[in-house]
């Protein structure tokens, strides 16, 4: 669940992105996994789902090291990838800012640091 004010708006990186609703100091925890808001489920849960819906759901999920899918239940799912991110998932199920973030700046992170699929298969769409 997001812990700071944010909003979704057009992104210079990819379609829509998550933007800071106010200035955020470096080292601020901005998101943490919150049961009841964020969902964890095994990938096979999507097997009976029609393909068009499954593809859309997967686009907004990340995959933990054990293969579990995580779907953020709020706008955190709009955070885009960057090879030079301003946020990081370092020590647990939460995200912190790597540096001071200006109000209205897009929040980004490096998908390969926390998403098994990005780490294994690369980021073909970003090259």
3-state class (DSSP) for residue 72: coil
What's the confidence (pLDDT) of residue 122?
66
What's the confidence (pLDDT) of residue 123?
59
What's the confidence (pLDDT) of residue 30?
97
**4 and 35 in contact (C-beta within 8 Å)?**
no
Enumerate the domain spans of the chain: 6-122
In which band, very low, low, confident or very high, does the pLDDT at 40 lie, cut at 50, 70 and 90?
very high
pTM (2 decimals)?
Answer: 0.86
Question: Is pLDDT above 50 for 6?
Answer: yes
Q: At CA 95, angle to CA 4 and CA 42, rounded to 5?
A: 115
What superfamily would CATH give domain 6-122? SET domain (2.170.270.10)
Q: Which tens digits make up the pLDDT trace of 47-63?
A: 898 999 888 888 888 88
């Amino acid at each position: 669940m997001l812990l700071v004010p944010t909003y979704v708006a057009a992104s210079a990186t990819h379609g829509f992105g998550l933007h800071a609703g106010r200035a955020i100091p470096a080292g601020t925890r901005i998101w943490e996994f919150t049961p009841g808001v964020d969902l964890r489920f095994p990938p096979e849960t999507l097997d009976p789902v029609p393909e068009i819906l499954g593809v859309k759901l997967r686009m907004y999920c990340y995959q933990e090291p054990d293969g579990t899918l995580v779907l953020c239940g709020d706008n955190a799912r709009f955070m885009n990838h960057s090879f030079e991110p301003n946020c990081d998932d370092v020590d647990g199920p939460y995200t912190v800012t790597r540096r001071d973030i200006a109000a209205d700046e897009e929040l980004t992170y490096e998908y390969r640091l926390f998403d098994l699929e990005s780490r294994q298969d690369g980021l073909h769409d970003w090259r």
